[in-house]
A and B are shown apart, each in its own frame.
Chain A
């Protein structure tokens, strides 16, 4: 029995080895595919020559050039401001909405959920158009009113509200807030309700229960949501190109218009810096996560041990 079955079995194993090698080769090729282009951008950012494509020695002069470029740095600052505000507003309102959604009738919740998903799946280009339409109409209505009020009060020229960084933030919040809501709701659904009930049983006020019990459990979802909101906002070109004000481009807008004029090593240097900051942030956050989850696990273990010891 064993004698007759062993040769074909070995044949299968050998085939298995080849299948394994095939998978490994495909995976390796894909990782090269994913990282070589990014690597080339970084490599050419150190190019001493003037053109991308031919490497003529290494230098950091394009970094110097980028850091001294007032337009690039202005755009970077605009993007950071927009990303930070988007992240704060989207995380706050998105989390509040997720908490409220737990407490409303099912029919209303279904409608709200549907709108949330529409806000996420709708392409950026449509969000850009929709928000542009809103702002054009809103400003077309508000500005004459302001002018009338200012004229009536005799204050002279009324301030005119127009597009700018604030309109980009408003448009970015629309879809990033929806993402935060979805993430926090998923976390709420998986949350241990008995802890909240225990907190109430121990006479904690609703607010205290929220701060000391609910919020810590939601933290991973909130942090992820805030990071995603910032990243999407910082990265967005399409929506910003619709609702940005004159003379206030974001970094992607600056990069996009520069590319249209031709690739320079300076753009590569900016790209490399953005990549470095993103990856560093990611690593930092994941390290904090890992540490806090390890601390929490250790704490829980200690508490369990404590409980066992004190129990007679």
Chain B
């Protein structure tokens, strides 16, 4: 196909125009602010709050004062991801291999909560875990006074409840694609259930497993609502520290340093994911639905 130079230029300009709105949006609202965030993180705090031009590492040196938030987020994101995996895997396996004719309906029932309000799903537990809920019930059974709300347990429960669909879906997709004949072959070759699971099923669905882990881990790291509602200020994450630093105490430089810390953790997780994913030689996928 021969095209005139003018035609090619017109086509290039058309492409650039198509890309322009998205590019402008990313540049102005994401890239420039991230650069500003880095600059701020080396700056000083103005007396009335906000930012004062400076170059200092003081904010990063002050980060350990917020280490509780970082450690809480890290261990609960890890624990929550493992719990989602332990709870979600059998369900995904059941849906993919044994659910039969009800499979579509059951799958839809897993996805529906994901489309409903996150805030409502979290706050639903407030009543259940609150003093009129399960604790009152346990007390009437003679278990004594039990506190469930505002504990790490409540936050972990909220995490599993909210993020379970995100774990089940990629797992289901990879298990559903799995060639069932391989399982039969493994059985015919004398492997037991556990051996088949460990040596055939698990390796073949590792791509879905990795997607599920990363899809759950990253948003939990940046979680704000669950610790705010179910942790009640006693169990708080980086997100809660950031809201405090930016909106309440208005210490923007320290807040910027904490935000950079969160971004670094997340980018590290993504890098590990990409490395592990490509080493397995399997197709990577990020499935949103």
A residues neighboring B (CB under 8 Å): 19-20, 23-24, 26-27, 30-31, 33-35, 37-38, 40-41, 44, 51-54, 92-94, 96-97, 99-101, 103-104, 112, 115-119, 121-127, 129-134, 137-138, 170-171, 173-174, 177, 179, 181-183, 224, 228, 231, 234-235, 237-238, 241-242, 252, 255-256, 259, 263, 267, 271, 274-275, 278-279, 282, 286
Asked if A37 meets B121 with Cβ closer than 8 Å, knowing A179-B288, A231-B115, the reply is yes
Q: Which residues of A contact B239 (CB under 8 A)?
A: 123, 125, 238
C-alpha spacing A115/B221, complex, angstroms: 20
B93 to chain A, nearest CB (A): 7
Q: Which residues of B contact A132 (CB under 8 A)?
A: 246
Q: Is the CB of B19 within 8 A of A100?
A: yes
Q: Is the CB of B222 within 8 A of A123?
A: yes
Closest to A271 in B: B120
C-alpha spacing A40/B120, complex, angstroms: 11
Q: Which residues of B contact A52 (CB under 8 A)?
A: 127, 132
Q: Which residues of A contact B189 (CB under 8 A)?
A: none
Partner of B98, one of A20, A177, A228: A20
Q: Is the CB of A242 within 8 A of B246?
A: yes
Q: Which residues of B contact A137 (CB under 8 A)?
A: 36
Is B183 at the interface (CB under 8 A from chain A)? no
Q: Is the CB of A171 within 8 A of B29?
A: yes
C-alpha spacing A23/B92, complex, angstroms: 10
A34, A115, A138, A224 — most chain B CB neighbours (10 Å): A34
B17 to chain A, nearest CB (A): 8
- Report 22 cross-chain contacts, Cβ distance below 8 Å, ordered by A residue: A23-B98, A26-B94, A27-B90, A27-B106, A31-B109, A33-B161, A93-B21, A93-B22, A96-B18, A103-B15, A104-B19, A125-B239, A125-B242, A130-B30, A131-B29, A132-B246, A228-B288, A235-B119, A238-B225, A259-B229, A274-B116, A279-B112
Closest to B256 in A: A129
Q: Is the CB of B161 within 8 A of A133?
A: no
Is B255 at the interface (CB under 8 A from chain A)? yes
B143 to chain A, nearest CB (A): 18
Q: Is the CB of A174 within 8 A of B121?
A: no
